[in-house]
Structure 1
Amino acid sequence: MSSSFKMVAKTLLGLEDLLVKELEDIGAQKVKPMRRAISFEGDDELMYKANYQLRTAIRILKPLHEFKFTNVEDFYDKLYNFEWAKYMDLNDTFAIDKVVYSSKFDNTQFAVYKFKDAICDYFVRNYRRRPSVNTQAPNVKFNLHVSEDRCIVSLDSSLDSLHKRGYRFSEGLAPINEVLAAAMLKFAGWDGKQTLIDPMCGSGTILIEAIMLARNIPAGYYRDTYGFQSWKNFDKELWEKVKREADQRIKPIEATIIGADINREVLRAVRVNLRRSKLHMNVKTLHTSFEDFNNTFDSGLVITNPPYGERIGAGEIAEIYNMIGSKLKNDFQGFDAWIITAPKENFKHIGLRPSEKITLLNGQLEGQLQHFELYEGSKKYNQDTPKEKGKLIEEKPRKRQEVRKEEQPNKKFNVSRFLKK
């Protein structure tokens, strides 16, 4: 049995509490939330579990070397004198991932160059040869984190970001990050027992994450490669045991899951991903617009990621989001709706008052996940006038907003695919 050591699980802004719960559930010790990260302790088995099972983690780091430095030369010296041979051999290739915020370097890439030189010079001094860099498929990946005069070097046990689940064989238009999709489902309290509908499903990320969560399929079930598999102390038997025990907890699904989209090509990508992942029996896919979607259920969850302003012009945003609000109000009474968008100002066109607002990042965009409780008799409200809470808005005809040249829709993007024809 390996000894316990410190690790850091990276995540997206706003998902820290979800990741804390996941880490505690798999037995992590000394769990401490930070900004976009959680520190914790555990052994090799826990590290394997974290990579294979966590849905809201991006990568799992194992800190190796932490120090303060006074200048660039001191930075190099402290790296050069570290015992790198404990963690890699001459025949290993390596890569460096960086997060650098320091006035001591003219640019962030210079810090990476000095780190690379320190490793190579160490091996030349001790073994008369230098290892090779391979940025695409390294045997060992280091994470360099520099904050002014403080440096932390870690081994990246994940290699590729954990949002790369391994089930995406075909992509639709601007797919949502898998970690973010899983977080939306967790915020919504998805338990696999309610009806779940994504009426603008794109390439089906929310649908697949919903199935995996409901059936208790590990997040890494479809993924083959992790960084720790190339480490000198990799325990293959322990790794197989971790996967076997997690896979034994997979269960049948109870709920009805429906995904819809009006774009045939995008829907084809959904079906490819579902079939190749052998999940196609767990979800029904429909070729229809949200506006024409025929809801026959009395209750459940609507969880969706509508188009953002970066993909379409400002003039169409109001039309699409107003349609979403009207459709939810009229056809989904008894449901809870969870919608993410960026920027958050898009929500003002929905016209429904949210019961929850959660700030999240989708890529580089800061947006919001909002929760709408659609009780019978739900009415449309203006989100920008909280003092008028309870006051029904008088719907007035909107003039079509003038779209500036730089905001005009991409010619390849057809906004009509979201609206009734």
Structure 2
Amino acid sequence: MRAVSDGATGLKGDARRQELLRVRGRSVAWLAPLVLLIGIVLIDFRTSSDFRILSWIVLVPGIAAAICGVWGTAMYAVLAPATYVGADAVLPHEFQAGLPDLVLAAIGGVLATLACAIRVRGERRMLHMQDVAATIRRTVLRPLPPGWGGLEHAAVYLAADSEARVGGDFYDIQIGLHGTRVIVGDVQGKGLGAVEAAAALLGTFRETGYHEPDLATVAVRLEERLQRHILMRAALGREDDDRFATAVLISFPEADPAVVDTVVLGHDPPLVVAPDGIRSLPPGAHGLPLGMGELDPAAGPPPALRVLLRPGETLLLTTDGVTEARNSAGEFYPLAADVAQAVAADPGIARPRRLVAFVRERTLRHCGGHLADDTTVFAVRREGGGKGVENVGNGDGSGRLQA
């Protein structure tokens, strides 16, 4: 989303702001103040001396300051008083407004130009912050290539803070020496601390997921990494003692395409969605959330649960932003029941792209668009049940949507 600023400043903030004020690629932001200026003069000429509105010309630079660039506003700051002088001079002497209103128009133009400069600077700073947030998002949630690791996948990330655009939810797919691994997780809390923890966990997953033959070992490495991250944060004076993360690890072994291995670490287990219905994974040993391993040091890593996955079956993974979304009556979103009903009505919803889009839409509808937490919806299956990869995106190539 880019456009060209109407002023010589060429600020990117102006460019984005004026996207809606363009016709056939050309800025028309200058048109509204001009119409107002002409309208004030014409109305003033057609009314009696008891109704003089020529002094309203002071509004023209103010309108320009809201929608034009600095140079455009400065032009109207000069044009408005000049028009006032010309229009006032045409009138008979007894009807002229005189010097006081001229001074008011001149001062209004100067103040409007200063206000416009401040607004443009704020827009430029906001644009820079959005670019930084987008860079962080691409680093933490890197775009996944089509068919990556032989998987058909789709993902939607909805930030509870629509301005931040990034939070503690994370997901990734990593090709490895022992198959393709998937992770979906949620770091407790919000803000940059949660983003840092998510980045640390993803970095570890991308290395251990590639090298380690045992999925449980990957879980152990993630636990160790988060513990080290917490210690480092504490040493820097940033209290993160209570930081933890939930996660689901999935492995698609190359040797046996009919099965998947899963390790659930304090997270909601995946839901298996097929054209003929849905099912939950069999109950297995769930591990503690990452960062809480010291609560039970003797427990060791949770064993990986191996389950059959038929062709066409999709694994649906969500963070608690979905399952804990509440409606106006305080009721949680019934994910499993809603998906089961949708698949029964239309088996094609089992495809990753359609499934993710459906869950996203229904979650937002259930909570009225007011998300209380960052929300991730991730669907994945082996290629062959549909065509290609499907990252549901917002037009910026990131493969994610912003609330």
Q: Which TM bucket (shorter chain)?
A: under 0.3
TM-score, normalising length: structure 1: 0.26
The structure richer in strand per residue is: 1
TM-score, normalising length: structure 2: 0.27
Higher relative CO (Cα under 8 Å, sequence separation at least 6) belongs to 2
